[in-house]
């Protein structure tokens, strides 16, 4: 596969900086611990989402099939009272597109989708997620931070993903040995007045029985 990418070598790991959605497929390449689709912010959308009143920011935690996401996010925006405008359509379209890309890459029939509004130090400790992969895209506020921890020590150099740029991360259940040492965290923002809006996608094979009431088809 030919990728328009830049390999950012961090110790024994590589973070692929790619410039197209197809480039996220680098996550399947040997030695790749994460892939970041570095895309420029759209001023029209960014100005809009940055000024949406916090109570109107869309939040949800659900399990769904990829084909259900557009309807679900549209209904969520309606329920939050977000005005029906071009920027809202851009948001719905982008979430749906990222879900489609992620589901295709992971061959996942179901996804766990979260839209979180964060104003505290949520997940401020560097960690690796206990799953195969996770996609994170910060639509508002500071992006996800990442770095390498060597021999159980603290992360040495902290990198920050750009706002609006999705990062695809391998988790601890990815079948690779030895582990990469690449860790990530939510940036500590408590007390700064900053509000983040973050999309998180996890692949799952099927819904757990006790999650059945949250499934969208």
* The predicted structure's pLDDT at residue 162: 97
* pTM summary value: 0.89
Residue 123 has pLDDT above 90, yes or no: no
* 168 close to 102: Cβ distance less than 8 angstroms: yes
Both tokens of residue 206?
């099927």
How far, in Å, CA of 13 to CA of 181, rounded?
7
Residue 4 has pLDDT above 60, yes or no: no
How far, in Å, CA of 169 to CA of 37, rounded?
12
How far, in Å, CA of 133 to CA of 128, rounded?
10
Report the mean per-residue pLDDT for the chain.
88
Determine how β-strand 167-170 pairs with β-strand 133-140: antiparallel
Mean pLDDT for the stretch of residues 152-171 = 92
How far, in Å, CA of 178 to CA of 151, rounded?
12
Both tokens of residue 69?
């996401």
Residue 217 has pLDDT above 90, yes or no: no
Mean pLDDT for the stretch of residues 83-109 = 97
Residue 181 has pLDDT above 90, yes or no: no
Left if phi > 0, otherwise alpha if psi is -120 to 50, otherwise beta: which for 78?
alpha
* The predicted structure's pLDDT at residue 151: 73
Using DSSP, how many helices (H) and how many strands (E) does the chain show?
A: 3, 12
């Amino acid at each position: 596969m030919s990728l328009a990418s830049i390999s950012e070598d961090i110790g024994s790991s590589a973070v692929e900086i790619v410039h197209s959605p197809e480039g996220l497929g680098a996550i399947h390449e040997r030695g790749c611990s994460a892939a970041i689709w570095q895309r420029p912010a759209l001023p029209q959308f960014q100005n809009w989402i940055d000024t949406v009143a916090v109570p109107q920011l869309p939040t949800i935690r659900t399990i769904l099939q990829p084909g259900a996401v557009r309807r679900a996010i549209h209904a969520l925006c309606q329920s939050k009272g977000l005005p029906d405008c071009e920027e809202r359509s851009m948001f719905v379209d982008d979430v749906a597109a990222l879900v489609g890309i992620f589901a295709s890459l992971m061959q996942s029939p179901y996804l766990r989708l979260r839209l979180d509004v964060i104003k505290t130090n949520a997940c401020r400790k560097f960690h690796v997620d206990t799953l195969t992969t996770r996609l994170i895209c910060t639509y508002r506020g500071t992006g996800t931070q990442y770095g390498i921890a060597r021999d159980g020590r603290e992360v040495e150099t902290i990198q920050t993903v750009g706002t609006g740029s999705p990062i695809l991360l391998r988790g601890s259940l990815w079948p690779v040995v030895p582990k990469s040492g690449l860790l990530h965290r939510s940036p500590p923002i408590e007390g700064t007045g900053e509000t983040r809006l973050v999309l998180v996608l996890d692949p799952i094979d099927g819904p757990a029985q006790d999650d059945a009431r949250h499934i969208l088809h």
